[in-house]
Amino acid sequence: MSMQNVLITGASRGVGKSTALAFASRGFRVFLNCKSSLADLAEVKKEIQDTCGAPCHLVPGDAGDPQAIRQIFKEIREICGGIDILINNAGISHIGLLMDMTDAQWDGILSANLSSVFYCCREAIPYMVSRHSGRIINISSMWGSAGASCEAAYSATKAGVDGLTKALAKELAPSGIPVNAIALGVIDTRMNAQLSSEEREALCQEIPAGRFGTPEEAAELIYQTALSPLYLTGQIIRMDGGFL
């Protein structure tokens, strides 16, 4: 089988970084994207080259900017023709009362968490359809279905990712392209670093598993989903330690 090409947005740290390492360690060519943490992204590439030896390319840019995504996919096509596996992981959080959110904050989280998925899928799909092959995995959250107090905008964007996943799966099933989402629970990443030790402990007590998940666990589920049977599509696969 020819080398498979994977694009991971938001790959500079956390789940995105661990996912990049999971695929690269199995011999996949990985394209790493992020918007601003370029030094961290370069470190991920170096780690892949030092430990995995797999082909690795940096394609920085704002995944929520359609022009940036068009340019990124242009570069990818010049290197390998197109993407076989798209992992939409880019995203940001916002904690605060909805009534206190500014227009710019609302627009920013919609762009980063939901529009980015649309723009990347739109660019990736033609190549996949032409080959009747490909995989799309969108990284969602348990809050997309449950809703989180003081994270209404974040919850709304993840609910949107879930709806987009289900609808797109129906569009692409005739072409043999599964589309699934991974709805993660509380993962021990920098996104949750703002929590105090008391808040972390209280949250752990609410999780039946008694702890936060790790980026490596999330990455392994993402990898296994990419290899799952074609008949698995349109699913929101939740990994939350039994929280919901």
Strands (DSSP E) contained in 9-152 are: 29-32, 56-58, 85-88, 135-141
* CB-CB neighbours of 187 under 10 Å: 22
What pLDDT is stored for residue 194 in this prediction? 72
What pLDDT is stored for residue 200 in this prediction? 84
Written as six digits, the tokens of 148 are 């989180």
What pLDDT is stored for residue 190 in this prediction? 75
What pLDDT is stored for residue 197 in this prediction? 81
Strands 56-58 and 85-88: unpaired
Which of 188, 178, 177, 90 is closest to 140 using CA atoms?
90
What pLDDT is stored for residue 192 in this prediction? 74
Written as six digits, the tokens of 224 are 């296994």
Q: Which stretches of the chain drop beneath a pLDDT of 50?
A: none
Name the CATH superfamily for 5-239.
NAD(P)-binding Rossmann-like Domain (3.40.50.720)
What pLDDT is stored for residue 2 in this prediction? 72
Domains of the chain by residue range: 5-239
What pLDDT is stored for residue 178 in this prediction? 98
* CB-CB neighbours of 94 under 10 Å: 18
Residues catalogued as catalytic? 154
